Amino acid sequence: MTNQDNKARPLAGRIALVTGASRGIGAATAQALAQDGAHVVLVARTVPDLEAVEDAIHTAGGSATIAPLDLTDGESIGRLAQAIGGRWNALDILVLNAATLGTLAAVPAIDSKEFARLLTLNIAAPQALIAAFDPMLRASKDARVVALTSGVAAANPRAYWGAYGASKAALEVLVAAYGQEVRNVSAIRTHIVEPGATRTTMRARAYPGEDPATLKTPDIVGRAIADLIVRDVPDGERLVLPK
């Protein structure tokens, strides 16, 4: 591979896993990582949407594998780690993007069953993924764990966003703590990304009257995440995109 190829595909030979990769920011991030040369494992529940993203990556000259599964099933995460570990020695990039918005409600009105489901996907699943893939991340020469957060997390709580905001605040703490735990004993670096207002299905649910044409597209966020991973930035660096 020439120096020009290295510059064009700086993630060549790297293995990435992106959750929530069937649409929106997850799909855009997977496509950007593949464009930079990574082989991307696409994780989400919806097979047709995953296949569409995989086809787009292959059409663009990239490489990807789909892994349809429900992240709320902890056993599925363990099986996924076993399958990936049987094919590759290390995982270089883990993007924790999958999340659910839930119903926007005042804190006393939060439905307990829905809240439990939200916490399972938004915080328990990322912890299970980190735990399952920790050995493969430690085996990488330069591993990155990237978690997607929100402007309504701990730094800026907002009325009626308590459930979703709390889950994102917990995710930030979880990933930052993991980064500190492995900082001196591995090549793992962790990052938090706050994408800001983006044209996604979740955004449309939260702001039904908003004109989507006024929002940035997911590919802008995906490219920014890929660029963050390519750059040699310190552990814990936070990326906040303009609103």
Closest CA to 77 of 136, 25, 27, 33: 136
Q: Calculate ∠ Cα 234-85-178, nearest 5°.
A: 30
CA 81, 25, 190 angle in degrees (round to 5)? 55
User: Is 74 in a helix, a strand, or coil?
Assistant: helix
Backbone φ/ψ region at 236: left (φ over 0), alpha (ψ -120 to 50), beta = left
Type and span of the H or E element at 26? helix 24-35
Q: How far apart are CA 61 and CA 54, in angstroms?
A: 11
**Residues marked as catalytic:** 164
CA distance 144 to 135: 13
Give the whole-angstrom CA distance, residue 49 versus residue 230: 27
CA-closest candidate to residue 161, choices 97, 101, 242: 101
Per-residue CA distances from 238 to 4, 43, 53, 70, 106 (Å): 29, 24, 27, 28, 29
